Amino acid sequence: MEFLIEFFSSDYMPHGHCFLWLPGILWLTVGADALIAISYFSIPIALLIFLQKRPDIQFRGIALLFAAFILLCGITHLFSIYTIWYGSYGVMAILKAMTAIVSFATAVATFRYIKPALSIPTPEQHEQALRERFVREREIEQLKLEKRFDSLVRAAIDFTPSGVLIIRATGELVYANKEVERLFGYDENQLVGQHIESLILEQDRSGHLMHFSRFFSHSDAPQAMAKGRVVQGRKANGESVHLEVGLVPKSIDGEKFVFASIIGVNEVLNLEETVVTQSSRLLRAIEAADEGIWEWNVQNGDVWYSPRLLELIGFDPASQGYSLDDWLGHIHPDDKSKVSAVLQGHFEKRTPYLVEYRGKNSHGEYEWMQARGEARFDERDKPLFMYGTLASVKETVALSDQLEEQIAINDEISKDFINTFELAAVGIAHVSTEGNWLRVNQRLCSIVGYTEGELLTLTFQDITYPDDLEKDLSLLSELMNGKANSYALEKRYFHKGGHIVWVHLTVSVVRSEDKRTGEKKPEYFISVIQDISKRKEIEKELANSNAELERFAYAASHDLQEPLRKIMMFSDSLQERLQGELADEDAQYELSRIADAASRMKAMVSALMELSRAQRLEVTLQQINLEALLQDVTEQLDALIHERQANVRLIGGSTGLIIDKAAMLHVFQNLITNAIRYCPEEREPQIHISCEENQKEVVIRVKDNAGGIPENMHEAIFEPFRRLVTKSISGSGMGLSICQRIIERHGGTIKVEESNDQGSSFLICLPKN
């Protein structure tokens, strides 16, 4: 540790003492060291800039070593200035040691790179190499050009419409283009190497070979045969073919060759036949066409009209000696200027000649005609002749009038739709299958507080309350998959102002048919949005009010229990004590009425408390079989059933229910009890229970043979304290009201399906899941 302190100490004698602090020596030394340091620092920077701009330079490592060596030399000179005033010779020694290491490494690397550096070519050698490379590339390019030219020549010969054969004097075939192969029915390159006699019919071979030999021995033969002559050739399949052949001799490098030009005469004959056939077809088409055809020699005024055109302008189709004036004469006087203007425009400005006008037909009546045509011009843009068609378009004009009328009707319908869309009292929108708003009306904008432009940049997901989004998307998926045609739900939107808006949303889908597959795919949705925020506020207030009433009813019922108990206790006590002593019959009657009223009051309070509990019921769902549930009900009502000899029966098979067992026991107990108690004495009570289910719900029917329920009471009997009979049958009038509350807590409904004097049928609908 002491060594390090002494090593890095700056308490040694500064270097300035060596020259006695003489200003001349001191400042000259400082200036020289500073200039050397600056120079040493600039050299590595220049090297690095050079290497960066020339990444192709080899020996980058030695350059970097030189830069490091020079940089360290600069640092030592810079630190020498510091040691003039401070004796930090330990740091100076470290810097020199680093400089020594880098300089030694640079020297070693320099000697190692001498041999590779000597292998770098001189400018003269480099220039010579470039010249040689240029010559080689020129030679290669020349070979490519010659090869390409040879390919182009071969391609030109291959695709020429005439057949080309190259034949040696020995008769060997050297080359045959594609047309020759096609004419003779050979595959590619199949003819090369064969003898010319393979293309000649057997009966003609001897004579042809004699002519072929004379072709080289007589000077006049080449000129004669070069003009071409018609011969018969032999195809690959043995069939004959008529050919026009021309021969030209040519010597190449001392060897004689014959160049043969071959044209298939059969195709020429076939072409002539085709032209005749097509001409006949064209003539028949002209005669059968509904349009008239015309041609006009503009220079001399001659015209040609097809029979149909003559018929259209009111002339006999077989007539002769017609002229241009005949056509001009059938044009309505009011339309002649229009026809003339279109014709003049075609001649002067080359605008299309297409004009509709009224023309007199063969019946002497004017009907709409359409003339179209095209002129041919000379080099001075003067029209030479013109040709075209003439057709009756009276049906087209009539259809056009109908179309214009339909367009006007559609415009009116569209206007009405736009008015309905924009002025509707509810929000209406078109929404893409991805959820983007495509079109919105002003009412929707006012409901959610956004402008039309702002809404069109959003999706309905952006403004939907998160808790409502999953249900909305699930229904939307069913709509897209064709499981439903529309759906409706109540949901919440975020208003632009930040508060929540309740809406009733109805969505339907517009589908378009895929022309390729015929499948109808969703194109967009139509959404109808009704603002129900005020209704929701009223419902909330009503729910709060009902809750308060329920709490009041429960509290009042609970608080009345004790006074009633005392009234009943004291009335019973008075009856026992005054029994036999109270001579006043009216007093006895009034005392008994007090006891009866207290009993009824107690039953009514109990019913109120039971109704309150039903409204607050938290259902605990479980899977239970309907048959097992009815078994429990009949066991609990066993005494009443035996007393009236009632018949309680499940019709059909049993069904599994997902219900709160205790609550539904109460429902069936009440319905069966009512059916037995309200059944006339002369009848034996019959209660039949049946069950059926569909995809969404389970439907249970409870049918009895009691006295029936008047039609005007079908809904009223579910109201609290509403009874159908007088005091002859005891009860509080709360039973059916409690049943309805229990069914509603299950998400279902209960109603009277039918009723007459022979009995009633109650219908219970419960959600299946």
Task: Assess whether pLDDT exceeds 70 at residue 716.
Answer: yes
Buried b (16+ CB within 10 A) or exposed e, 292-318: bbbebebeeeebebbbbbbbbbbbeee
Q: Where are the beta strands (DSSP E) in 433-542?
A: 437-440, 486-494, 500-513, 520-531
Range from 109-113, 523-527, 743-747 carrying the lowest mean pLDDT: 109-113
Residue 708 confidence (pLDDT) above 90: no
SS3 376: strand
Do the Cβ atoms of 659 and 632 come closer than 8 Å?
no
Beta bridge partners of 656: 625
Mean pLDDT of all residues in 225-234? 68
pLDDT tens-digit profile of 577-624?
Answer: 666 666 666 666 766 767 666 666 665 666 656 655 655 556 678 888
Query: Is residue 726 very low, low, confident or very high in pLDDT (cuts 50, 70, 90)?
Result: very low
Contact assessment for residue 736 and residue 723, using Cβ atoms and an 8 Å cutoff: no
Superfamily of domain 159-270 in CATH is: PAS domain (3.30.450.20)
| Average pLDDT for 285-304 | 80
Interhelix angle for 533-577 vs 585-615, to 10°? Answer: 150
Tell me which residue of 540, 468, 554 sits closest to 504, measured CA to CA: 468
| Class at the top of the CATH hierarchy for domain 618-767 | alpha beta
208 burial (CB, 10 Å; 0-12 / 13-18 / 19+) is middle
CA 470 vs. chain centroid, Å, equals 22
The confidence score (pLDDT) of residue 212 equals: 67
Answer whether CATH 1.10.3210 is correct for domain 532-616.
Answer: no
The CATH homologous superfamily to which domain 289-392 belongs is PAS domain (3.30.450.20)
Looking at residue 435, its pLDDT comes to 92
Percent of all residues in the chain with a pLDDT value above 90, rounded to a whole number: 14
**pLDDT tops 60 at residue 395:** yes
Q: pTM to 2 decimals?
A: 0.34
Q: How many degrees, rounded to 5, is the angle at CA 638 between CA 634 and CA 644?
A: 110
Query: Would you say the CATH fold of 618-767 matches that of 159-270?
Result: no
In this structure, the strands spanning 686-693 and 647-651 are parallel
Angle, helix 626-636 to helix 661-677, in steps of 10 degrees? 60
In this predicted structure, the answer to whether residue 219 has a pLDDT above a threshold of 50 is no
- CA distances from residue 328 to 211, 340, 357 in whole angstroms, order as listed: 67, 10, 11
What was the pLDDT predicted at 710? Answer: 82
pLDDT at position 746, please?
84
pLDDT exceeds 80 at position 477: yes
> In this structure, how many other beta carbons lie within 10 angstroms of the beta carbon of residue 443?
19
Give the domain 424-507 fold.
Answer: Beta-Lactamase (3.30.450)
- pLDDT surpassing 90 at residue 553: no
**Residue whose structure tokens are 């425009």:** 345
Give the pLDDT mean for 243-259.
80
Distance of alpha carbon 658 from alpha carbon 698, whole angstroms: 10
On whether the CB atoms of residues 183 and 241 are closer than 8 A, the answer is yes
Higher pLDDT, 451 or 578: 451
Residue 391, classed as helix, strand or coil, is strand
DSSP-derived secondary structure for 144-173: HHHHHHHHHHHHHHHTSSSEEEEEETTSBE
Going from N- to C-terminal start, the domains of the chain cover 2-118, 159-270, 289-392, 424-507, 532-616, 618-767
The DSSP code sequence of 441-459 is -HHHHHHHT--HHHHTTSB
Residue 419, CA distances (Å) to 66, 148, 156, 425, 754 in order: 86, 73, 71, 11, 47
The fraction of the chain above a pLDDT of 70, given in percent, is 79
